[in-house]
Amino acid sequence: MQSPLLTAEAGSTRLEIVVADITTLSVDAIVNAANTSLLGGGGVDGAIHRAAGPQLLEECKTLGGCETGSAKITRGYRLPARNVIHAVGPVWQDGGSGEDVLLAGCYSAAVSLAAVRRLRSVAFSAISTGVYGFPADRAARIAVGTVVSALGAQDHRIERVVFCCFSDEAADHHAQAFYECGLV
């Protein structure tokens, strides 16, 4: 895996920012920016489904979809990650339609699922920032702030959280969020 661009500690959890292909990360779970059907799509969702193989789609068909602002978990199949947490973020409307709360909800739900499953390492994609149009800087602040807060609310210690960015610009937004949250 590529070396982290920035690391920080949130309690006893190591936080990292990397620019990488999330389908290549060897972690307990990767967090997919899924749609409500959970049946695959474009962007990172499509890439995860292709890399995991057809078994992922078959398992997703049994889950009955997922509401925006929530998350569900499956096996990772052909991925290096043992699990995929499918988090459904909101489509950006205008910023006044509850998008921030829904985005925070899916990050919080993903951390909760990881804690319940006693996972030690989780890698997040930048949920809702692709075709869903959520402003990347705003999404990064919500992602980092929500994950740090959710980690503190869990009994199980997640040892490592990776914010996996698809570009240097996305990584810069996450680094700024680390600074704004007082992590570095």
45 is catalytic: yes
**How far apart, in whole angstroms, are the C-alpha atoms of residue 44 and residue 31?**
10
Quote the pLDDT of residue 18: 97
Q: Quote the percentage of the chain above a pLDDT of 90.
A: 93
- Would you place residue 142 in the very low, low, confident or very high pLDDT band (cuts 50, 70, 90)? very high
| CATH architecture of structural domain 6-180 | 3-Layer(aba) Sandwich (3.40)
- Would you place residue 1 in the very low, low, confident or very high pLDDT band (cuts 50, 70, 90)? low
Among residues 28, 45, 94, 155, which one is catalytic? 45
> Average pLDDT of the chain?
96
Quote the pLDDT of residue 46: 96
Most confident by average pLDDT, 26-30, 149-153, 155-159: 26-30
Is the pLDDT at 44 greater than 60? The verdict is yes
Q: For 84, list phi and psi in degrees, rounded to 5.
A: -125, 125
- Would you place residue 60 in the very low, low, confident or very high pLDDT band (cuts 50, 70, 90)? very high
**Residue 84 three-state SS:** strand
Is the pLDDT at 30 greater than 80? The verdict is yes
Quote the pLDDT of residue 155: 82
43-to-23, 98, 181 alpha-carbon distances in Å: 12, 23, 28
For the CA atoms of 112, 103, 160, 48, the dihedral, rounded to the nearest 10 degrees, stands at 100
| pLDDT tens per residue, range 80-112 | 999 999 999 999 999 999 999 999 999 999 999
Domain boundaries defined on the chain: 6-180
Q: What is the pTM of this model?
A: 0.96
Higher pLDDT, 63 or 3: 63
